[in-house]
Amino acid sequence: MSNEYDYNTSRDRLILPEYGRNIQKMVNHLKTIEDREERNRAARTVIAVMGNLNPHLRDVSDFKHKLWDHLAIISDFELDIDSPYELPEKGALEQKPNKVPYNQHSIRYKHYGRSIVLMIDKAVEMEPGEEKEDLVRMIANHMKKSYLTWNREAVSDEEIFMDLKSLSGGKLEISGELKLPETRDILAKSRKKKVGGGKKKQQS
């Protein structure tokens, strides 16, 4: 009896692991078939097996085309067959994707975030009235919550009002009569959310 074991670490790397090692072996065998017609017939059989192993791909547009592309990839583009589709080029797949451009807007107080700045801009454009006052109060509440999320320190309402005035270019002001939620209440709610989220994860 041989003492050698067939460990995954000693096997050849799977090019597309989602199809499994048996498909990889089938494709490797295809490359050894000398007769072209027989190789084409065998390739169509492998395509059928690949489709059965991944039925979720049937919801993808050009399902068959996707399977033939995968067959080419698994063979490392070394399989000479008559594909019903134009095969992808190996070089094109190895190209790095273009970098996604990110907005680099300058935010004076980053702990408030871009959304708060956009809300302030919207409030500045609104005509004076109850709707505008409600929006400004809501913005101030969100600003305090955002501040405490980042800094976890006590912050006075006056400081929030000053930041709101600064971010609006002096166009939005709140009287000192407005009372924002207490710091301890905001932090307590935040802790409850974290504890509740942890329990849900444990139960799932």
DSSP character at residue 183 = H
- One domain, residues 15 and 86: yes
- One domain, residues 44 and 88: yes
- One domain, residues 83 and 128: no
Does 100 reside within a domain? no
CA triple 189-144-160, angle to 5 deg: 160
What's the rounded mean pLDDT across residues 88-117?
A: 68
- One domain, residues 82 and 123: no
Does 157 reside within a domain? yes
Judged against a pLDDT cut of 50, whether residue 1 lies above it is answered with no
**What is the structure's pLDDT at 88?**
79
- One domain, residues 121 and 180: yes
Q: How far is residue 174 from each of residues 107, 108, 146, 157, measured CA to CA in Å? A: 21, 20, 18, 10
- One domain, residues 67 and 131: no
Tell me which of 77-86, 99-108, 145-154 is least confident. 99-108
Does 43 reside within a domain? yes
| Number of domains within the chain | 2
Does 33 reside within a domain? yes
**What is the structure's pLDDT at 29?**
94
In contact, 170 and 115? CB cutoff 8 Å: no
Is the full-model pTM beyond 0.75? no
What's the rounded mean pLDDT across residues 89-107?
A: 61
Does 203 reside within a domain? no
Task: Residue 72: give the domain boundaries.
Answer: 11-94
The listed range with the strongest mean pLDDT (9-23, 76-90, 142-156, 175-189) is: 76-90
- One domain, residues 124 and 86: no
Does 49 reside within a domain? yes
Does 200 reside within a domain? no
- One domain, residues 90 and 44: yes
- One domain, residues 89 and 126: no
Q: Which residue has the higher pLDDT, 110 or 146?
A: 146
